[in-house]
Amino acid sequence: MLRRPLEPEQYTSIAFTERLAETGAAPSVGSVGDAYDNALAESTIGLFKTELIKPRAPWRTVEQVEIATLEYVDWFNHRRLHSTAGDIPPVELEHAHYRQRQAQPEPEHSSP
């Protein structure tokens, strides 16, 4: 069956963009609808399949996959060392980011 291509607005959600702005993070996606929008997600899914799904196959039940996924996400965020994050887990990098932001003085705004 042929399916209609995704509409450009299906690639990047408004909530995601707003959350990035709240945290002060720069989006790693291109313009809405370009081919780079899903690169990070696809890379992460590839790791998930390579590190968890394929090595432990065959899976007998959906519940097995669900529990293993929760354990994998916990490990990935709290114990897996990431070289691009200075060989620390993502949760430690996130905590350091927020500590640094709290230590920085708020910029002064001039009133109109």
pLDDT digits (tens, 9 = 90+) for 12-26: 567 777 777 788 776
In a domain, 89, yes or no: yes
More confident residue, 21 or 72: 72
What phi and psi values does residue 9 have, to the nearest 5 degrees? -70, -5
Q: How many CA atoms lie within 13 A of 92 on its CB side?
A: 14
Domain count, the chain: 1
DSSP one-letter code for 58: P
In a domain, 99, yes or no: yes
Residue 86, phi-psi category: left (phi > 0), alpha (psi -120 to 50), beta (remainder):
left
Confidence bin at 56 (pLDDT 50/70/90): very high
pTM > 0.75: no
pLDDT of residue 21: 79
Confidence bin at 78 (pLDDT 50/70/90): very high
More confident residue, 57 or 104: 57
In a domain, 38, yes or no: no
In a domain, 68, yes or no: yes
pLDDT of residue 13: 67
What range does the domain containing 89 cover?
A: 60-103
In a domain, 108, yes or no: no
